[in-house]
Amino acid sequence: MQPIFQRDRLDSLMPSMTGAVEDMLARWNDLARSNTPVDAGVEMGKLALDVITRALFGTGGAAIAEDVVKSVAVLQEYTSYLFWTLNPLAAKLPTPYHRRFLAAVAAIDAVIYRFIHERSAARAGNGAMLDELLKARDPETGCGMDEKSLRDEVVTLFLAGHETTANALTWTWYLLDRHPGIRERLESEAAALTGHPATIQDLNALPYARQVAQEAMRLYPPVWSFNRFALGPDTLGAYRIPRGTTVFIPPWVLHRHPSLWEDPERFDPERFTPARSTGRHRYAYLPFGAGPRICIGSHLALMEMQVVLALVAPRYRLRLGSDHPVSPQGLITTRPSKPIMMRLERLI
Ligand code: HEM
């Protein structure tokens, strides 16, 4: 799948990405006028879903958004319940909770299979990622993917490709509201870019937006922890790791560790200037993991965050409705424990 994530391919996604943001901003017009607060997580969820649907399938995601956003929330809750529960039979019990999970999987599968069938039947390609996967052939056997393998790959890209980015953007708006000086600097950088960021090259004019995104993912890494399974005995510092151990690698802890970061709790995008990034330990910052299984969509995600910040920041300020404390919850991703309700303050 590497070729579909290469830079020239990502450049071709810019028009659909800016299109998805513009559609959201058009929707926000009335909400801003009537001073209706929005749930930042839901808004960013719908936006990131629209972006990944356009990239994968070549068509907008508005029609499927409600169902998918709800189903993903069920998947998150149920899988983290399985993760934390001490009941070894939990995954097998036909509880209402389990049935709700199966219904959510079926709802997402229905969406994915519909797109797979539509695109397989289409005579002409539409250049979307799914078309590339349909064309992919195993170099040794010459065979394409069977329908189940294709579903598995597509569902991974679909879920990994929007939930994480939505999450990162949600925390970014939250942090920006708490740090007006940083928000104003971001607003002026974005306002100075005449017209839209239309190509990947334009993103070079938005270094601060990139730093803001990176720093938000330091404090709120969407994947707060990932794990590895020890294939053989190993030693890690003072610890012996027996074969078969599950080892957790928690970006949440690494990113806030005082031996790795100065004043770690402070939101400070300046940490990510090239000058201040040199010399940092290569595993101090792992929002996208590391090594052979590093996130395949990291460039796409950072590009998307930059585009969203650049298009939204000069036009709207997202303001927290109240001072209620917002705390994170470690599900599969780092979700806010309660909805982050924000008012849309129109700037231009
Ligand atoms: C801010 C956004 C994102 C974050 C924070 C993120 C984070 C991660 C992390 C930490 C991993 C590694 C997990 C591990 O090592 O066990 C990963 C893997 C992966 N990500 Fe992302 N991701 C993001 C966006 C995306 C996007 C946009 C896509 C695709 C469109 C994507 C697709 C994948 C896939 C397919 C894998 C599995 C790679 C493999 O196992 O070889 N991610 N992601």
Ligand 1 contact, 61 CB (< 6 A):
no
Average pLDDT on 157-182 reads 95
Ligand 1 atom with minimal separation from the 291 CA: 15
Ligand 1 contact, 169 CB (< 6 A):
no
- pLDDT for residue 92: 82
Q: Give, using CA atoms, the residue closest to atom 41 of ligand 1.
A: 293
| Full strand arrangement of the beta sheet holding 341-346 | 38-39, 341-346, 316-320
Q: How far apart are alpha carbons 328 and 319 in whole angstroms?
A: 18
Ligand 1 contact, 296 CB (< 6 A):
yes
Residue 199 sits at the vertex; the CA angle it makes with 18 and 69, to the nearest 5 degrees, is: 30
Q: How far apart are alpha carbons 335 and 332 in whole angstroms?
A: 8
- pLDDT for residue 331: 82
Average pLDDT on 138-154 reads 92
Cβ neighbors of 125 (< 8 A, separation 6 or more) are 131, 135
Query: Which of 253, 285, 295, 334 best tests ligand 1's pocket when mutated (most atoms within 8 Å of CB)?
Result: 295
Residue 182 sits at the vertex; the CA angle it makes with 178 and 188, to the nearest 5 degrees, is: 130
**Structure confidence by residue, pLDDT tens digits, 236-284:** 999 999 999 999 999 999 999 999 999 999 999 999 999 999 999 999 9
Ligand 1 contact, 165 CB (< 6 A):
yes
Average pLDDT on 334-339 reads 90
Query: Which of 4, 83, 164, 331 best tests ligand 1's pocket when mutated (most atoms within 8 Å of CB)?
Result: 164
Q: Helices in 92-141 by DSSP H: which ranges?
A: 96-121, 129-135
3-state secondary structure of 111: helix
Cα(297) to centroid of ligand 1, in Å?
6
Task: Give the CB-side neighbour count of residue 283, counting CA atoms within 13 A.
Answer: 5
**Structure confidence by residue, pLDDT tens digits, 19-70:** 999 999 999 999 999 999 999 999 999 999 999 999 999 988 777 877 888 8
Ligand 1 atom with minimal separation from the 223 CA: 10
Ligand 1 atom with minimal separation from the 222 CA: 5
For the chain, counts of helices (H) and of strands (E): 13, 9
Cα(30) to centroid of ligand 1, in Å?
35
Using only the alpha carbons of the chain, give its radius of gyration: 21
- Per-residue burial over 298-320, b if 16 or more Cβ lie within 10 Å, else e, is eebbbbbbbbbbbbbbbbbbbeb
**Structure confidence by residue, pLDDT tens digits, 113-136:** 999 999 999 888 888 999 999 988
The backbone torsions φ and ψ at residue 36, rounded to the nearest 5 degrees and listed phi first, read -85, 120
Q: Give, using CA atoms, the residue closest to atom 18 of ligand 1.
A: 295
What percent of the chain clears pLDDT 70, i.e. is strictly above it?
Answer: 100
- pLDDT for residue 189: 95
Which residue's entry shows tokens 């009335």?
30
DSSP 204-273: GG-HHHHHHHHHHHHHS-SS--EEEE-SS-EEETTEEE-TT-EEEE-HHHHTT-TTTSSSTTS--GGGGS
The mean-pLDDT minimum among 74-83, 137-146, 222-231, 260-269 falls in 74-83
What percent of the chain clears pLDDT 90, i.e. is strictly above it?
Answer: 72
